[in-house]
Protein backbone atom coordinates (compact mmCIF):
# COMPACT_ATOMS: atom_id res chain seq x y z
CA UNK A 1 0.00 0.00 0.00
CA UNK A 2 1.25 3.45 -0.96
CA UNK A 3 1.76 5.48 2.21
CA UNK A 4 3.33 8.59 0.70
CA UNK A 5 1.90 11.90 1.85
CA UNK A 6 0.44 12.53 -1.57
CA UNK A 7 -1.29 9.21 -1.57
CA UNK A 8 -2.71 9.65 1.95
CA UNK A 9 -4.20 12.97 0.84
CA UNK A 10 -5.64 11.44 -2.31
CA UNK A 11 -7.04 8.39 -0.50
CA UNK A 12 -8.76 10.59 2.08
CA UNK A 13 -10.44 12.73 -0.56
CA UNK A 14 -11.47 9.69 -2.61
CA UNK A 15 -12.83 7.94 0.48
CA UNK A 16 -15.22 10.81 1.15
CA UNK A 17 -15.91 11.51 -2.54
CA UNK A 18 -17.19 7.97 -2.87
CA UNK A 19 -19.49 8.66 0.07
CA UNK A 20 -21.19 11.59 -1.59
CA UNK A 21 -18.81 14.44 -0.70
CA UNK A 22 -17.86 17.07 -3.24
CA UNK A 23 -14.09 17.56 -3.40
CA UNK A 24 -13.43 21.29 -3.07
CA UNK A 25 -10.12 23.16 -3.31
CA UNK A 26 -8.21 24.47 -0.32
CA UNK A 27 -8.91 28.12 0.27
CA UNK A 28 -6.19 30.75 0.69
CA UNK A 29 -4.18 31.10 3.90
CA UNK A 30 -5.64 34.60 4.08
CA UNK A 31 -9.22 34.03 5.20
CA UNK A 32 -12.13 35.98 3.82
CA UNK A 33 -13.45 36.07 7.37
CA UNK A 34 -12.30 39.44 8.69
CA UNK A 35 -12.23 38.31 12.31
CA UNK A 36 -9.52 35.74 11.70
CA UNK A 37 -5.87 36.47 10.97
CA UNK A 38 -4.90 33.27 9.20
CA UNK A 39 -6.45 30.03 8.04
CA UNK A 40 -6.35 27.88 11.17
CA UNK A 41 -8.70 25.10 10.13
CA UNK A 42 -10.56 23.57 7.22
CA UNK A 43 -13.93 24.78 8.47
CA UNK A 44 -13.24 28.49 8.04
CA UNK A 45 -14.19 28.65 4.38
CA UNK A 46 -17.55 27.12 5.33
CA UNK A 47 -18.26 29.29 8.35
CA UNK A 48 -21.00 31.37 6.66
CA UNK A 49 -22.77 28.14 5.63
CA UNK A 50 -22.54 26.70 9.15
CA UNK A 51 -24.00 29.93 10.51
CA UNK A 52 -26.83 29.77 7.99
CA UNK A 53 -25.84 33.09 6.41
CA UNK A 54 -25.15 31.58 3.00
CA UNK A 55 -27.05 28.68 1.46
CA UNK A 56 -25.11 25.46 0.98
CA UNK A 57 -24.09 24.59 -2.58
CA UNK A 58 -23.73 20.90 -1.76
CA UNK A 59 -24.89 18.79 1.21
CA UNK A 60 -21.35 17.73 2.10
CA UNK A 61 -17.80 18.41 1.02
CA UNK A 62 -14.21 17.31 1.53
CA UNK A 63 -10.99 19.32 1.32
CA UNK A 64 -7.25 19.27 1.90
CA UNK A 65 -6.85 22.68 3.51
CA UNK A 66 -3.48 24.34 4.01
CA UNK A 67 -3.37 25.85 7.48
CA UNK A 68 -1.19 28.10 9.61
CA UNK A 69 -1.21 27.99 13.40
CA UNK A 70 1.03 30.53 15.01
CA UNK A 71 -0.09 29.47 18.47
CA UNK A 72 1.99 26.32 17.88
CA UNK A 73 5.13 28.25 16.95
CA UNK A 74 6.96 27.45 20.17
CA UNK A 75 6.13 23.76 19.76
CA UNK A 76 7.72 23.50 16.34
CA UNK A 77 10.63 21.09 16.31
CA UNK A 78 10.13 20.34 20.00
CA UNK A 79 7.05 18.16 19.85
CA UNK A 80 6.88 15.43 17.23
CA UNK A 81 3.57 16.64 15.87
CA UNK A 82 3.26 20.43 15.65
CA UNK A 83 3.93 22.72 12.70
CA UNK A 84 3.13 26.30 11.89
CA UNK A 85 2.16 25.13 8.39
CA UNK A 86 0.31 21.88 7.90
CA UNK A 87 -2.46 20.34 5.85
CA UNK A 88 -5.77 19.52 7.44
CA UNK A 89 -7.87 16.97 5.59
CA UNK A 90 -11.54 17.38 6.35
CA UNK A 91 -15.03 16.13 5.66
CA UNK A 92 -17.94 18.47 6.23
CA UNK A 93 -21.69 18.10 6.45
CA UNK A 94 -23.93 21.15 6.07
CA UNK A 95 -27.05 19.97 7.83
CA UNK A 96 -26.78 16.62 6.06
CA UNK A 97 -25.34 13.67 8.00
CA UNK A 98 -24.41 13.98 11.68
CA UNK A 99 -22.71 12.14 14.53
CA UNK A 100 -23.39 8.55 13.64
CA UNK A 101 -22.11 8.68 10.06
CA UNK A 102 -19.19 10.94 10.96
CA UNK A 103 -18.01 8.52 13.63
CA UNK A 104 -18.51 5.39 11.57
CA UNK A 105 -16.74 6.81 8.53
CA UNK A 106 -13.83 8.13 10.60
CA UNK A 107 -13.40 4.65 12.01
CA UNK A 108 -13.65 2.98 8.63
CA UNK A 109 -11.18 5.42 7.10
CA UNK A 110 -8.70 4.89 9.91
CA UNK A 111 -8.88 1.15 10.34
CA UNK A 112 -9.80 -0.09 6.87
CA UNK A 113 -8.68 2.50 4.32
CA UNK A 114 -5.52 3.42 6.25
CA UNK A 115 -5.29 0.02 7.89
CA UNK A 116 -4.52 1.13 11.44
CA UNK A 117 -4.89 -1.83 13.84
CA UNK A 118 -8.20 -1.31 15.64
CA UNK A 119 -6.69 -1.98 19.05
CA UNK A 120 -4.27 0.91 18.56
CA UNK A 121 -6.95 3.56 18.12
CA UNK A 122 -8.31 5.33 21.21
CA UNK A 123 -11.06 7.90 21.21
CA UNK A 124 -11.99 10.86 23.33
CA UNK A 125 -15.46 12.35 23.69
CA UNK A 126 -16.82 15.45 25.41
CA UNK A 127 -17.56 14.62 29.03
CA UNK A 128 -21.35 14.52 28.83
CA UNK A 129 -21.77 13.46 25.24
CA UNK A 130 -23.48 10.13 25.95
CA UNK A 131 -24.72 9.91 22.39
CA UNK A 132 -21.16 9.81 21.05
CA UNK A 133 -20.25 7.29 23.73
CA UNK A 134 -23.07 4.98 22.66
CA UNK A 135 -22.14 5.20 18.99
CA UNK A 136 -18.47 4.40 19.64
CA UNK A 137 -19.37 1.57 21.96
CA UNK A 138 -22.36 -0.03 20.27
CA UNK A 139 -22.21 0.88 16.61
CA UNK A 140 -18.44 0.78 16.15
CA UNK A 141 -17.56 -1.63 18.93
CA UNK A 142 -14.71 0.23 20.59
CA UNK A 143 -14.09 -1.27 24.06
CA UNK A 144 -15.19 1.18 26.77
CA UNK A 145 -11.75 1.43 28.32
CA UNK A 146 -10.51 2.98 25.10
CA UNK A 147 -13.20 5.71 25.11
CA UNK A 148 -12.12 8.63 27.29
CA UNK A 149 -14.37 11.43 28.45
CA UNK A 150 -12.54 14.75 28.43
CA UNK A 151 -13.36 18.33 29.40
CA UNK A 152 -14.06 21.50 27.54
CA UNK A 153 -10.44 22.44 26.87
CA UNK A 154 -9.85 19.36 24.74
CA UNK A 155 -13.26 18.28 23.55
CA UNK A 156 -15.33 21.34 22.90
CA UNK A 157 -14.09 22.93 19.69
CA UNK A 158 -14.43 26.62 18.89
CA UNK A 159 -12.81 28.40 15.98
CA UNK A 160 -12.39 31.59 17.97
CA UNK A 161 -14.01 33.69 20.68
CA UNK A 162 -17.28 33.60 18.73
CA UNK A 163 -18.72 31.51 15.90
CA UNK A 164 -19.85 27.97 15.18
CA UNK A 165 -18.72 25.36 17.69
CA UNK A 166 -19.67 22.15 19.38
CA UNK A 167 -18.56 19.10 21.31
CA UNK A 168 -15.99 16.96 19.55
CA UNK A 169 -14.60 13.47 19.51
CA UNK A 170 -10.98 12.78 18.68
CA UNK A 171 -9.05 9.78 17.45
CA UNK A 172 -5.65 8.98 18.90
CA UNK A 173 -3.04 6.46 17.82
CA UNK A 174 -1.26 4.43 20.48
CA UNK A 175 2.51 3.97 20.02
CA UNK A 176 2.90 1.87 23.15
CA UNK A 177 4.27 -1.24 21.45
CA UNK A 178 7.03 0.72 19.70
CA UNK A 179 7.74 3.42 22.23
CA UNK A 180 6.79 1.84 25.53
CA UNK A 181 4.31 3.03 28.12
CA UNK A 182 3.39 2.91 31.76
CA UNK A 183 0.13 1.74 33.30
CA UNK A 184 -1.52 5.14 33.48
CA UNK A 185 -3.37 6.17 30.38
CA UNK A 186 -3.22 9.82 29.45
CA UNK A 187 -4.21 10.66 25.89
CA UNK A 188 -2.33 13.93 26.28
CA UNK A 189 0.95 12.08 26.84
CA UNK A 190 2.62 12.55 23.49
CA UNK A 191 5.41 10.09 24.13
CA UNK A 192 2.72 7.45 23.79
CA UNK A 193 -0.25 8.93 21.91
CA UNK A 194 -0.81 11.17 18.95
CA UNK A 195 -4.10 12.89 18.20
CA UNK A 196 -4.73 12.64 14.47
CA UNK A 197 -8.42 13.22 13.74
CA UNK A 198 -10.94 15.56 15.29
CA UNK A 199 -14.67 15.24 14.65
CA UNK A 200 -16.61 18.34 15.62
CA UNK A 201 -20.35 18.06 16.07
CA UNK A 202 -21.05 21.61 15.16
CA UNK A 203 -24.41 22.54 16.51
CA UNK A 204 -23.99 25.85 18.35
CA UNK A 205 -23.05 29.42 17.65
CA UNK A 206 -21.07 31.14 20.37
CA UNK A 207 -22.27 34.72 20.60
CA UNK A 208 -20.41 37.86 21.63
CA UNK A 209 -21.74 37.41 25.13
CA UNK A 210 -20.42 33.84 25.24
CA UNK A 211 -23.86 32.23 24.95
CA UNK A 212 -24.31 29.00 23.06
CA UNK A 213 -27.28 29.30 20.74
CA UNK A 214 -28.31 26.23 18.74
CA UNK A 215 -27.70 26.47 15.00
CA UNK A 216 -30.64 25.90 12.67
CA UNK A 217 -29.03 22.74 11.37
CA UNK A 218 -26.59 20.25 12.79
CA UNK A 219 -23.27 20.16 10.98
CA UNK A 220 -20.13 18.11 10.87
CA UNK A 221 -16.68 19.65 10.73
CA UNK A 222 -13.60 17.45 10.91
CA UNK A 223 -9.85 17.79 10.67
CA UNK A 224 -7.24 15.12 10.14
CA UNK A 225 -3.58 16.10 10.25
CA UNK A 226 -1.93 14.86 7.05
CA UNK A 227 1.62 15.02 8.42
CA UNK A 228 0.51 13.14 11.55
CA UNK A 229 -1.09 10.30 9.64
CA UNK A 230 2.02 10.20 7.44
CA UNK A 231 4.12 9.82 10.59
CA UNK A 232 2.01 6.89 11.72
CA UNK A 233 1.81 5.11 8.37
CA UNK A 234 5.42 5.73 7.40
CA UNK A 235 6.51 4.47 10.81
CA UNK A 236 8.83 7.37 11.54
CA UNK A 237 9.36 9.00 14.95
CA UNK A 238 7.93 12.43 14.07
CA UNK A 239 6.15 14.41 11.36
CA UNK A 240 9.42 15.89 10.15
CA UNK A 241 10.81 12.58 9.00
CA UNK A 242 7.93 11.95 6.61
CA UNK A 243 8.29 12.37 2.87
CA UNK A 244 6.30 15.60 3.14
CA UNK A 245 9.07 17.42 5.03
CA UNK A 246 12.23 15.35 5.21
CA UNK A 247 13.53 16.37 1.76
CA UNK A 248 13.60 19.97 3.00
CA UNK A 249 15.62 18.93 6.04
CA UNK A 250 18.04 17.10 3.76
CA UNK A 251 18.43 20.30 1.74
CA UNK A 252 19.17 22.35 4.86
CA UNK A 253 21.61 19.66 5.96
CA UNK A 254 23.47 20.00 2.69
CA UNK A 255 23.63 23.77 3.00
CA UNK A 256 24.81 23.68 6.60
CA UNK A 257 26.87 20.49 6.45
CA UNK A 258 25.04 19.38 9.59
CA UNK A 259 23.70 15.90 9.03
CA UNK A 260 20.33 15.25 10.61
CA UNK A 261 21.17 11.72 11.75
CA UNK A 262 24.24 12.70 13.71
CA UNK A 263 22.98 16.08 14.93
CA UNK A 264 22.36 16.65 18.64
CA UNK A 265 18.86 17.53 19.82
CA UNK A 266 19.32 21.27 19.57
CA UNK A 267 20.66 21.08 16.02
CA UNK A 268 17.88 18.68 15.06
CA UNK A 269 15.35 21.15 16.35
CA UNK A 270 16.99 23.91 14.31
CA UNK A 271 16.80 21.82 11.14
CA UNK A 272 13.13 21.10 11.80
CA UNK A 273 12.32 24.73 12.56
CA UNK A 274 13.90 25.93 9.32
CA UNK A 275 12.01 23.31 7.30
CA UNK A 276 8.74 24.12 9.01
CA UNK A 277 9.06 27.88 8.79
CA UNK A 278 10.04 27.84 5.14
CA UNK A 279 6.97 25.83 4.28
CA UNK A 280 4.84 28.43 6.05
CA UNK A 281 6.68 31.34 4.46
CA UNK A 282 6.48 30.00 0.90
CA UNK A 283 2.74 29.35 1.09
CA UNK A 284 2.01 32.62 2.88
CA UNK A 285 3.89 34.68 0.31
CA UNK A 286 2.22 32.72 -2.46
CA UNK A 287 -1.13 33.70 -0.97
CA UNK A 288 -0.15 37.35 -1.08
CA UNK A 289 1.30 38.10 2.35
CA UNK A 290 4.52 40.12 2.26
CA UNK A 291 6.93 40.63 5.15
CA UNK A 292 6.13 43.71 7.19
CA UNK A 293 5.77 44.83 10.77
CA UNK A 294 2.05 44.35 11.19
CA UNK A 295 -0.55 41.63 11.07
CA UNK A 296 0.06 38.77 8.70
CA UNK A 297 3.16 40.41 7.29
CA UNK A 298 4.68 40.30 10.74
CA UNK A 299 4.04 36.58 10.93
CA UNK A 300 6.03 36.06 7.72
CA UNK A 301 8.78 38.38 8.89
CA UNK A 302 9.04 36.64 12.22
CA UNK A 303 9.18 33.19 10.63
CA UNK A 304 11.92 34.26 8.23
CA UNK A 305 13.89 35.82 11.04
CA UNK A 306 13.63 32.72 13.17
CA UNK A 307 14.77 30.60 10.24
CA UNK A 308 17.76 32.86 9.61
CA UNK A 309 18.72 32.68 13.26
CA UNK A 310 18.46 28.91 13.33
CA UNK A 311 20.56 28.78 10.19
CA UNK A 312 23.24 30.80 11.90
CA UNK A 313 23.14 28.53 14.92
CA UNK A 314 23.92 25.71 12.49
CA UNK A 315 26.94 27.57 11.19
CA UNK A 316 25.57 29.26 8.12
CA UNK A 317 27.25 32.62 7.67
CA UNK A 318 29.25 31.98 10.78
CA UNK A 319 32.97 32.39 10.92
CA UNK A 320 33.69 28.86 9.80
CA UNK A 321 34.62 27.69 6.37
CA UNK A 322 32.34 26.93 3.49
CA UNK A 323 30.06 29.87 4.23
CA UNK A 324 27.39 30.79 1.82
CA UNK A 325 27.62 34.36 0.86
CA UNK A 326 24.35 36.10 0.74
CA UNK A 327 21.16 34.26 1.46
CA UNK A 328 20.51 30.56 2.11
CA UNK A 329 16.74 30.57 2.56
CA UNK A 330 16.01 30.95 -1.18
CA UNK A 331 17.61 27.55 -1.76
CA UNK A 332 15.47 26.02 0.97
CA UNK A 333 12.43 27.71 -0.54
CA UNK A 334 13.22 26.14 -3.93
CA UNK A 335 12.96 22.73 -2.32
CA UNK A 336 9.64 23.62 -0.68
CA UNK A 337 8.37 24.77 -4.05
CA UNK A 338 9.51 21.54 -5.67
CA UNK A 339 7.34 19.61 -3.20
CA UNK A 340 4.30 21.86 -3.62
CA UNK A 341 2.59 20.21 -6.58
CA UNK A 342 -0.37 18.65 -4.76
CA UNK A 343 -0.58 21.20 -1.98
CA UNK A 344 -1.03 24.31 -4.09
CA UNK A 345 -0.31 24.25 -7.80
CA UNK A 346 -0.10 28.06 -7.95
CA UNK A 347 3.12 28.04 -5.96
CA UNK A 348 5.18 26.88 -8.93
CA UNK A 349 3.74 29.59 -11.11
CA UNK A 350 4.69 32.21 -8.53
CA UNK A 351 8.04 30.66 -7.68
CA UNK A 352 10.38 33.42 -8.82
CA UNK A 353 8.50 36.14 -6.97
CA UNK A 354 8.34 34.05 -3.81
CA UNK A 355 12.05 33.26 -3.87
CA UNK A 356 12.98 36.87 -4.56
CA UNK A 357 10.84 38.16 -1.70
CA UNK A 358 12.56 35.72 0.64
CA UNK A 359 16.02 36.68 -0.61
CA UNK A 360 15.39 40.39 -0.04
CA UNK A 361 14.03 39.80 3.43
CA UNK A 362 16.91 37.57 4.47
CA UNK A 363 19.57 39.98 3.22
CA UNK A 364 17.83 42.90 4.85
CA UNK A 365 17.56 41.06 8.13
CA UNK A 366 21.16 39.90 8.07
CA UNK A 367 22.41 43.46 8.13
CA UNK A 368 20.35 44.48 11.14
CA UNK A 369 21.02 41.14 12.76
CA UNK A 370 24.74 41.65 12.71
CA UNK A 371 24.41 45.03 14.37
CA UNK A 372 21.87 43.73 16.87
CA UNK A 373 23.84 40.64 17.74
CA UNK A 374 26.85 42.67 18.75
CA UNK A 375 24.71 44.92 20.88
CA UNK A 376 22.80 42.05 22.49
CA UNK A 377 25.99 40.16 23.13
CA UNK A 378 27.40 43.11 24.99
CA UNK A 379 24.19 43.62 26.97
CA UNK A 380 24.08 39.95 27.96
CA UNK A 381 27.68 40.11 29.00
CA UNK A 382 26.91 43.14 31.17
CA UNK A 383 23.85 41.44 32.63
CA UNK A 384 25.85 38.33 33.54
CA UNK A 385 28.66 40.21 35.21
CA UNK A 386 26.21 42.44 37.04
CA UNK A 387 24.43 39.36 38.32
CA UNK A 388 27.69 37.92 39.50
CA UNK A 389 28.50 41.06 41.45
CA UNK A 390 25.08 41.49 43.03
CA UNK A 391 24.34 37.77 43.31
CA UNK A 392 20.97 38.37 41.69
CA UNK A 393 19.51 36.45 38.79
CA UNK A 394 20.79 37.84 35.46
CA UNK A 395 18.22 39.81 33.50
CA UNK A 396 17.97 42.15 30.56
CA UNK A 397 15.97 45.34 31.11
CA UNK A 398 12.82 46.14 29.17
CA UNK A 399 14.53 49.22 27.87
CA UNK A 400 17.39 47.24 26.34
CA UNK A 401 14.95 44.77 24.78
CA UNK A 402 13.09 47.72 23.36
CA UNK A 403 16.23 49.30 21.90
CA UNK A 404 17.01 46.01 20.18
CA UNK A 405 13.49 45.89 18.81
CA UNK A 406 13.28 49.49 17.78
CA UNK A 407 16.73 50.01 16.29
CA UNK A 408 17.77 46.53 15.20
CA UNK A 409 14.44 44.94 14.34
CA UNK A 410 14.86 42.20 16.94
CA UNK A 411 11.42 40.78 17.72
CA UNK A 412 11.26 40.62 21.50
CA UNK A 413 10.50 36.91 21.35
CA UNK A 414 13.82 36.44 19.61
CA UNK A 415 15.71 38.54 22.11
CA UNK A 416 14.15 36.46 24.82
CA UNK A 417 15.11 33.23 23.10
CA UNK A 418 18.74 34.24 22.69
CA UNK A 419 18.93 35.64 26.21
CA UNK A 420 17.45 32.46 27.65
CA UNK A 421 20.00 30.38 25.80
CA UNK A 422 22.56 32.21 27.88
CA UNK A 423 20.58 31.95 31.11
CA UNK A 424 19.40 35.56 31.12
CA UNK A 425 15.73 36.44 31.54
CA UNK A 426 14.09 39.44 29.90
CA UNK A 427 11.91 41.97 31.67
CA UNK A 428 8.89 41.58 29.41
CA UNK A 429 6.71 43.91 31.44
CA UNK A 430 9.32 46.63 31.16
CA UNK A 431 9.40 45.99 27.43
CA UNK A 432 5.63 46.41 27.18
CA UNK A 433 5.87 49.68 29.06
CA UNK A 434 8.42 50.96 26.54
CA UNK A 435 6.24 49.79 23.67
CA UNK A 436 3.23 51.53 25.09
CA UNK A 437 5.06 54.78 25.53
CA UNK A 438 6.33 54.62 21.96
CA UNK A 439 2.82 53.92 20.81
CA UNK A 440 1.44 56.92 22.61
CA UNK A 441 4.20 59.12 21.26
CA UNK A 442 3.75 58.08 17.69
CA UNK A 443 -0.02 58.27 17.95
CA UNK A 444 0.26 61.81 19.11
CA UNK A 445 2.78 62.58 16.39
CA UNK A 446 1.09 60.97 13.45
CA UNK A 447 -2.44 60.31 14.53
CA UNK A 448 -2.04 56.92 12.92
CA UNK A 449 -4.94 54.68 12.06
CA UNK A 450 -5.04 51.79 14.47
CA UNK A 451 -4.62 48.48 12.77
CA UNK A 452 -5.39 45.46 14.82
CA UNK A 453 -6.11 41.87 14.18
CA UNK A 454 -7.88 39.38 16.28
CA UNK A 455 -8.30 35.70 16.56
CA UNK A 456 -8.08 33.16 19.30
CA UNK A 457 -4.39 32.53 18.77
CA UNK A 458 -1.79 33.96 21.12
CA UNK A 459 0.33 35.52 18.41
CA UNK A 460 -2.25 38.14 17.62
CA UNK A 461 -1.70 39.71 20.99
CA UNK A 462 1.95 40.18 20.32
CA UNK A 463 1.22 41.29 16.78
CA UNK A 464 -1.20 43.90 17.94
CA UNK A 465 1.33 44.97 20.52
CA UNK A 466 4.25 45.16 18.19
CA UNK A 467 2.60 46.90 15.30
CA UNK A 468 4.85 49.62 13.98
CA UNK A 469 3.15 52.94 14.13
CA UNK A 470 4.82 55.43 11.96
CA UNK A 471 7.78 54.94 9.81
CA UNK A 472 7.77 51.50 8.31
CA UNK A 473 5.70 49.86 5.60
CA UNK A 474 2.00 49.70 6.29
CA UNK A 475 1.43 47.80 3.11
CA UNK A 476 0.52 44.45 4.62
CA UNK A 477 -3.08 43.43 4.49
CA UNK A 478 -4.48 43.71 7.96
CA UNK A 479 -7.88 44.13 9.36
CA UNK A 480 -8.91 47.66 10.11
CA UNK A 481 -11.01 47.71 13.21
P1 LIG B 1 -3.03 19.24 19.43
O2 LIG B 1 -3.84 18.93 20.67
O3 LIG B 1 -2.13 18.11 19.04
O4 LIG B 1 -2.34 20.56 19.51
P5 LIG B 1 -5.43 20.27 18.31
O6 LIG B 1 -6.42 19.58 19.20
O7 LIG B 1 -5.04 21.66 18.65
O8 LIG B 1 -4.08 19.36 18.21
P9 LIG B 1 -7.42 20.45 16.23
O10 LIG B 1 -7.78 21.86 16.42
O11 LIG B 1 -8.33 19.42 16.78
O12 LIG B 1 -5.91 20.21 16.79
O13 LIG B 1 -7.14 20.22 14.66
C14 LIG B 1 -7.53 19.04 13.95
C15 LIG B 1 -6.33 18.21 13.55
O16 LIG B 1 -5.35 18.99 12.85
C17 LIG B 1 -5.57 17.62 14.71
O18 LIG B 1 -6.19 16.44 15.17
C19 LIG B 1 -4.21 17.35 14.09
O20 LIG B 1 -4.21 16.13 13.38
C21 LIG B 1 -4.04 18.50 13.12
N22 LIG B 1 -3.23 19.59 13.71
C23 LIG B 1 -3.63 20.54 14.57
N24 LIG B 1 -2.65 21.41 14.88
C25 LIG B 1 -1.57 21.00 14.17
C26 LIG B 1 -0.25 21.48 14.04
N27 LIG B 1 0.16 22.58 14.68
N28 LIG B 1 0.61 20.82 13.22
C29 LIG B 1 0.20 19.72 12.55
N30 LIG B 1 -1.04 19.20 12.63
C31 LIG B 1 -1.93 19.83 13.43
MG1 LIG C 1 -3.30 22.44 19.36
MG1 LIG D 1 -5.90 18.41 20.95
MG1 LIG E 1 -8.05 18.47 18.58
pLDDT digits (tens, 9 = 90+) for 84-109: 999 999 999 999 999 999 999 999 99
The total of other beta-carbon atoms located within 10 Å of residue 246's CB is: 17
Confidence of residue 111 (pLDDT cuts 50, 70, 90): very high
φ, ψ for residue 431, nearest 5 deg: -65, -45
Give SS3 for 481. Answer: coil
Whole-angstrom distance, CA of residue 237 vs CA of residue 394:
37
Whole-angstrom distance, CA of residue 351 vs CA of residue 341:
12
Whole-angstrom distance, CA of residue 107 vs CA of residue 120:
12
Pocket perturbation via mutation, ligand 1, pick of 12, 42, 81, 194 by most ligand atoms within 8 A of CB: 81
**CA 224 to centroid of ligand 1, rounded, Å:** 8
The answer to whether 331 and 270 have CB atoms below 8 angstroms apart is: no
**CATH numbers and ranges of domains, the chain:** 5-236 (3.30.930.10), 245-466 (no CATH)
Query: Among positive and negative, which fits the CA dihedral 333, 337, 339, 340?
Result: positive
Q: Is a pLDDT exceeding 50 seen at residue 455?
A: no
Residues with CB under 6 Å of ligand 1 are 69, 72, 81-83, 86, 88, 195-198, 223-225, 227-228
pLDDT digits (tens, 9 = 90+) for 17-74: 999 999 999 999 999 887 789 999 999 999 999 999 999 999 999 999 999 999 999 9
pLDDT at 395: 93
pTM: 0.85
Q: Indicate the range of 25-29, 39-43, 160-164, 466-470 predicted with least confidence.
A: 466-470
Higher pLDDT, 470 or 212: 212
**DSSP code, position 323:** P
Q: Is a pLDDT exceeding 50 seen at residue 481?
A: no
The answer to whether 96 and 235 have CB atoms below 8 angstroms apart is: no
> Measured from the CA of 196, which atom of ligand 1 is nearest?
20
**CA 75 to centroid of ligand 2, rounded, Å:** 10
Give SS3 for 59. Answer: coil
Give nearest CA residue, ligand 1 atom 30: 225
Amino acid sequence: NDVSGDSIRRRFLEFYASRGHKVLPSSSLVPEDPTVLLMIAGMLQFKPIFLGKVPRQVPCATTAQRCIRTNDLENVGKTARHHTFFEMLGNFSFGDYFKKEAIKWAWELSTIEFGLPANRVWVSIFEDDDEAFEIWKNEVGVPVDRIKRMGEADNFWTSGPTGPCGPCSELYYDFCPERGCGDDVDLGDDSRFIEFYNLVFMQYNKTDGGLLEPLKQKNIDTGLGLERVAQILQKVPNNYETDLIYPIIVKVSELTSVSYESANDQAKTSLKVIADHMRAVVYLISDGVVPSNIGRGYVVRRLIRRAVRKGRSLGINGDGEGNLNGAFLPEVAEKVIELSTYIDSDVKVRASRIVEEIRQEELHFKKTLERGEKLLDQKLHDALSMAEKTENKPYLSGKDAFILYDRCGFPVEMTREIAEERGVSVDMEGFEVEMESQRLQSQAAHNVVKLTVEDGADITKSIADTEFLGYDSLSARAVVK
